[in-house]
Every structure is written in C-alpha cells, then in structure tokens.
Amino acid sequence: MSDAKRKIFIVEDQRIVAADLENTLRSLGYTVSGTAASGERAIEKVLALRPDLVLMDIRLEGPMDGIQAAERIRAVLDIPIVYLTAYADEETIVRAKTTSPFGYLVKPFNERELRGAIEIALYKHETDLLLHARLVMLAEEEARRRASEEAEKRFRLLVESVKDYAIFMLDPDGRVASWNAGATRIMGYEQSAILGTHVSAFYTEGDVELGAPEEALAASRRDGHFLGEGFLVRKDGSHFRAELRLSAVHDENGELRGFATVMRDLTEQKRAEEIQVFLDETTLLLTSSLETEGTLQKAAERAIPLLGDLCFVDIANEQGALVVCAAANKSGHEELTMELSRSIGRREGADYTFRCGGKVLHEEIESLPCMARVLGTSPELLRSLGPISYICVPIELRGRRLGVVELVRRAARGRYTPADLAVAQELGRRFGIALDNARLYREAQEAIRARDEFFMIASHELRTPLTPLQLQLEALERTLKRAGLLNDQLTGRVERCSRQIFRLTRLVESLLDVTRITAGQLVIEPETVDLCVLARDVTERFTTEASETGSKIELRSCTSIVGRWDPMRLDQVLTNLLENAVKYGCGRPIEVMIAEDGDAVRISVVDHGMGIEPEACARIFERFERAVSLKHYGGLGLGLFIARQIVEAHGGTIEAKSQPGEGSTFTVRLPRWGVALRSEVA
Ligand code: ADP
C-alpha cells in the first residue's frame, strides 16, 4: 500500500493549527479524511470514516479531552492514534499510556518528526496486526492439537476397555500392530505375545489354504472395507464363530497405513438363536399332538447335542414314582442311556428335584462315586464318560410337580452355566404345559364319554314308558267313546295329552340322535320319496299348533318332486324347521317352499318372526347352541344340529338367512338321486 493512500484524521481544537497540519500532511503525500475540534465529534467522524490513523490533540475544547476520545475510539476500532500536545506533564503521560498510543508528538514538531511518528505508528500497527493474526493461528492450532490428543487418548482408553469386541490394528502387511483387552479375552493372546503376528494365525487351516486372510486384506485394500463371518481359531486351538470387519486406514497422502479391525465373537449370539429356535420348535412339537410320550421323546432327541450328551424326561407314575418317559443321547452313549433309564429310582439328583422342587446345577463332577450317586448307577459304568456337568429341573405346572428333566454333558464339552439352567427350566415349564394339556384333554374326553353314556341310558329309560302311555291314552279314549262319555271337551283334552306325549317322545328322540351322531351311528335309509307329499303331511301335522300361536302355514305350489332320501329323517328335518318357525315366528304367517334346483331340490321355510343376529346364523347349527335365552324360550339347542347332520348325511347343505325383527329363512339343498349316501355320520 503506498503512503499517498493513507488516510489521516486530525483532532485539533485550534483551527489554525489544524489547517496547518492538514496542509503539511497533504504536502507529505497523505490524504486527510477529516478533522474534528471536539472529542465527541472526533468519535462520531472517525467511526464513520475509518481512517488509517488519527492525530489526536490531548487538550480539546468541550468536556472530553483527547485521551478519553482515543479510549472510546479504540474500544470499538483497532486504529493507530498518535497524540499531539504542547507540553506533557507526568499525569497526562500516564493516562495517555493506558490507551496504548502508537506515538507521541510534542508541539511544536517539524515535518520530519511528524512523518516519522506517523510512519512508525502505521508500521507498528500493521506489525501488531500480523503478530496478532499469527498468535491467533498458533493458539488455534494448539487448541486443535490438544483436542485431537485428548480425543485420541479417550479413544485409546475406550478401545482398551472394550471387552466384548476385539479391536486391533493390522499393519499394511496384515500383521498385528495393536491389541485391546477384548481381543485378549476373545482370542486368548496377551498383547506382548501377539504383536507382529500375521492375521492368518486367527484363521482355520482350511481357510488359510483357501487364501481367506489374503482375500480379506485385498478386499479392504480395494474397497476400503471387508465384512465376513466364519470360524476363527483361539490361542488354545478352539474354533469359534466370529464376525470380522476390516477397514483400510490411509494417511493424509493417501498412503495405506494399515487396517482397523473389529472382531465380534458370535458364539453366544448363535447359541442364543439356536436355543430360541429349539424352544420354539419344541413348543410347536408339544402342541401338535396330545400323545405326550412320543412328543416328549422327540423333544428330548432335539435337545441333543445342543443342551447336552444325555437328556432324560422323567415323569411320575400313578404311584408317584418317577419313570423315564423319554431318553435321548449323543451317539456312542446308547448302553449308558439304557442303564441310566433303568436306574431312575436310585438317582439322587432327580429324586431331590422331584421331592423338593429344587433345581440342581453341578458345574463339574469329577469324582466317580459322586457321579454315581447323582446318576444312581455304578462308578464303573461312568468311568468312560469322564468328568460331567449335570442339570436337573422340575417339570411343574400350577404348583403340581409332574416330573423332572435331567441333562448330562461331558465337562470336556463345556460345563453347564446358570444360563443353561435357565434354558432347562424353560424346557421343563413347556413340558409341564404339554403334559397338563394332555391331561386336561384326557379328562375332557372322559367327561364327554360319561355324558354321552348318561344321555344314552337316560333317553332309553325316558322313552320306555312313552309308548305304553300313548297306548293307554288311546285305550282310554276308546273306552270313553264306547260308554258314550266322550264329549268335545274330553276329546280336546285327550288330543292335547297326545300332543304332549308326542313332544316328549321327540325330545327324547333328539337326545338319542345326538348320542347316535356323536358315536357315528346315525343311519340313513334312502328310498324313493315324493317330497311334496312328505311336506304336506308334516305341514298338516303343525296346523293346530301353528293356529294356537296365530300363525298360518302355507305350502306353496308343490305337486310332486320325487327323489331318493330317508323319509323318516327328512320328516325330522322339516319338523324341526317348522317347530322353530312356529316357536320363534311371533304368530305371523309361515311359508314352506319346495322347488327343483337342477339335480337337487331346495326346501325353504320362511317365517316373519323375531329373526336371528347375523353372527349367530352359523353357530345355531352346532350342538346345544342357541340364540335366545332359556328363560323366554325353552329348548335343548339340538333341533338344527340334528337337521344339519341329517342333511349333510344326504350330501346336502342347510343355511339360515335372517335379520333380527324381520324373520328368518332356512334353506335346505338336497341332491335328488346321485349322491352316494353315508350310512354313518361322524
Ligand atoms: P332350540 O329351538 O331347541 O333352542 P334349535 O337347534 O332348533 O334349538 O335352534 C337353535 C337356536 O336357533 C334357537 O335357540 C333359536 O335361538 C334359533 N332359531 C332357530 N330357528 C329360528 C327361527 N325360525 N327364528 C329365530 N330363531 C331361530
């Protein structure tokens, strides 16, 4: 920047001095950007004009002197200020110093002194600025360095403290360059022993032969990263499933510095997944069948080798003694398994768990006599097994102990841990549910069988007196008639009695039919039948009953439709439908329609009564199902069930369509000829 462009601002209250100074400055090649006579004015103008330098007279007119004005200006603007004064007392100099002036000219001064003071001030200011900028830069650099050192330290501590992951660096050749605590825990090597070793030391022989380590390094060199899952080898030679992630690390020049490696031991995760799958599959297996012995055996077999070398499921028999209900073993232990199945009564572990409900976890039993006591057999037999790990847990449900599960594993294959015990307990719980379900099912079956037997006996017993009763009633009617005593009133009574006997007979028949159907003994005897004739008979039978409720039954346009059906059973279907139409028809008209429908016939019974909720339309065809309260309408809930069984036995269908309050339509479709009839219905 040339001097000519330097803008100087003059603060001077003596106008003549100011004008003189202005001239001098111009002659020296400076630009005078402005002048001010008072401190206040000077502040205002300097802040607005932003000159390169201010020449400031200390003594000024007005309340503010030059030093105060300079203070205010420099508080806002970093601008060099050179003081001008006629004389300098000590106090003024001290005050002026606190404003860090860039120069001090004592009047009178000559051009050379003025120029020198200005140039030095400008130079000093520029140097200050540069110095300051440099200092700021250095300070920032220092702060960054500290931050990155701090971050690195924190990162190192973090990496070192991680135990679940092996985190280490490989150099560009794939040799270990750093090692954390997690790596030691997972791989078994101490840092000092492993540094410098090639990563292929962690691979299985087979993988090394296939070039897997080199491939992983090459992939991360090429793509920046590599992610793989497979078996790695620990220091002790054992294999484990691991996930390996390599990321290539480059320096600022793009040169490869190595590979950041993160390795995770997947053994636990895989085992947890396997156990979950095992438990889920076991549940599925147990719920798929109520034949417990077979399913428990299959479940025990699936527990091998995941949960052990031997697995026994011991269930209490009716005398309360444990018997082996399922036994499974890893191959090679067949004889031992058989022997242990025989020795169940002598087993300390199983006995304790079954009697007290306590779970047993022996992490490792080395002594043969101790092993023999726990497993209830001779030490000789167990010698071949070596030290064992043993678990025994109860099978119980709702406080009832049903048996125990025993697991045995050779300690060399890994000792049982509390986590294994928890899995065994879960297995025991699921076995308990399965056994309980099977028991409940057996009991329910037994109860149903007892009920059906009772129905059968009760209905036979109830039916036996009904026929003689009807005969007696008819004989009574004849006697009265012969004696000339039968008037209209008595005839009506006899008829009502007769109807009640018929009703009772039908109820008892219904019960008998249900037991027949349940036992698969519903017999259909088809013969050639005219459905219209049959329908007319049934409808006529209901005329009196219907008129008592106010309903009228109309059989629509039906002359003759012939087919092969069981007439007694079809009569029963129609009777049941009409009985319901009268009962639930609210005294409104009832229509019976019979029509040909291709190779089939369609029978519809329509009423305009109370109707049925749509959700109940399918359900009412099930045994004992009803859609009305027993308080208002009596009934056994069997009529439609029996009707459906008969219709289906004829190869037909039956359905209900209804809306509450709008009546119901029951439609039966029956094949006319061709369908091979089932003589028995399950
Ligand atoms: P029950 O009449 O002895 O109860 P059903 O098996 O004949 O037994 O009928 C089952 C249920 O279906 C009845 O309880 C009733 O709720 C309903 N239902 C049957 N027919 C009709 C109908 N025509 N109108 C209204 N509801 C009916």
Find out whether 546 and 552 touch, Cβ atoms under 8 Å. Answer: yes
**Which two tokens mark 185?**
């825990």
**pLDDT on residue 147:** 82
40 vs 91, residue with greater confidence: 40
User: Among 244, 230, 265, 251, which Cα is nearest to 168's?
Assistant: 244
Measured CA to CA, the distance from residue 392 to residue 305 in angstroms comes to 17
Q: What pLDDT does 140 receive?
A: 87
Please report which confidence band the pLDDT of residue 518 belongs to, taking 50, 70 and 90 as the band edges.
confident
**What DSSP string describes 376-425?**
TS-HHHHGGG-SEEEEEEEEEETTEEEEEEEEEEEGGG----HHHHHHHH
Mean pLDDT of 149-175: 82
Q: Is 529 touching ligand 1 by the criterion CB < 6 Å?
A: no
Which pLDDT does position 4 carry in this prediction?
A: 54
DSSP-assigned beta bridge partners for residue 38 = 61
Q: What does the pLDDT average to over 652-673?
A: 96
Question: Residue 47 phi/psi, 5° resolution?
Answer: -65, -30
Q: pLDDT by residue (tens digit) across 174-228?
A: 999 999 988 999 999 999 999 999 999 999 999 999 999 999 999 999 999 999 9
Secondary structure of 9-55 in the HEC alphabet? EEECCCHHHHHHHHHHHHHCCCEEEEEECEHHHHHHHHHHHCCCEEE
Centre of ligand 1 from the C-alpha of residue 127, in Å: 109
Q: What is the spatial distance between Cα 625 and Cα 615, in angstroms, rounded to a whole number?
A: 12
Average pLDDT over every residue of 641-662: 95
- Is 50 exceeded by the pLDDT of residue 682? no
Kindly report whether the peptide bond that precedes residue 394 is cis, defined as omega within 30 degrees of 0.
no
Candidate of 584, 591, 619, 657 to mutate for ligand 1, largest count of ligand atoms within 8 Å of Cβ: 584
pLDDT at 161: 66
> What does the pLDDT read at residue 332?
86
Residue 88: pLDDT band (50, 70, 90) is: low
Mean pLDDT within 381-394: 92
Q: What mean pLDDT comes out for the span 382-388?
A: 89
Average pLDDT, stretch 86-96? 75
User: Ligand 1 centre and the CA of 510: distance in Å?
Assistant: 14
Predicted local distance difference test score (pLDDT) of residue 679: 46
Is residue 94 helix, strand or coil? helix
CB 664 within 8 A of CB 612: yes
Nearest atom in ligand 1 to the alpha carbon of residue 638 is 6
Are 199 and 262 a contacting pair, CB within 8 Å? Answer: no
Mean per-residue pLDDT of the chain: 90
Q: What is the mean pLDDT of residues 581-594?
A: 96
pLDDT: which is higher, 384 or 389: 389
- Find the mean pLDDT for residues 273-286: 91
Reported as a single tens digit per residue, the pLDDT across 461-512 is 998 999 999 999 999 999 999 999 989 999 999 999 998 998 899 889 988 8
Cβ proximity of 408 and 388 under 8 Å: yes
Q: What six digits make up the tokens of 509?
A: 């028949």
* Residue 3 pLDDT exceeds 70: no
CB atoms within 10 A of CB 486: 16
Share of the chain above pLDDT 70, in %: 97
Q: Has residue 678 got a pLDDT over 70?
A: no
Tell how far the Cα of 503 is from the centroid of ligand 1, in angstroms: 16
Residue 632 pLDDT exceeds 50: yes
**Mean pLDDT within 646-657:** 95
Instruction: From residue 115, give the alpha-carbon distance in Å to each of 27, 105, 120, 281, 631.
Output: 11, 11, 8, 99, 124
Which 8-state DSSP code applies to residue 300?
A: H
Q: Among candidates 153, 159, 230, which has minimal Cα distance to 191?
A: 159
C-alpha distances out from residue 573 to 268, 619, 638, 646, Å: 66, 17, 11, 7
Any idea which residue has 């092969």 for tokens? 564
The alpha carbons of the chain give a radius of gyration, in whole angstroms, of 54
User: Across residues 520-548, what is the average pLDDT?
Assistant: 92
- 637 CA distance to ligand 1 middle (Å): 7
CB 648 within 8 A of CB 682: no
Q: Given this model, what pLDDT does residue 241 score?
A: 92
> What is the per-residue pLDDT for 400?
87
If phi over 0 gives left and psi between -120 and 50 gives alpha, with beta otherwise, what is residue 10? beta
Distance CA 514, CA 34 (A): 121
Q: Across residues 115-122, what is the average pLDDT?
A: 90
**Residue among 626, 641, 657 to mutate when testing ligand 1 (max atoms within 8 A of CB):** 626
Ligand 1 and 514: CB distance under 6 A: no
> What pLDDT sits at residue 101?
74
How confident is the model over 342-382, as pLDDT tens digits?
Answer: 888 888 889 999 999 889 999 999 999 999 999 999 898 88
pLDDT at 163: 72
Sign of torsion, CA 494 498 499 501? Answer: positive
Q: Name the residue at shortest CA distance from atom 20 of ligand 1.
A: 580
The first and second tokens of residue 123, run together, are: 């130079």
Average of pLDDT values for 406-411? 95
Nearest Cα neighbor of 672 from 574, 570, 604 is 570
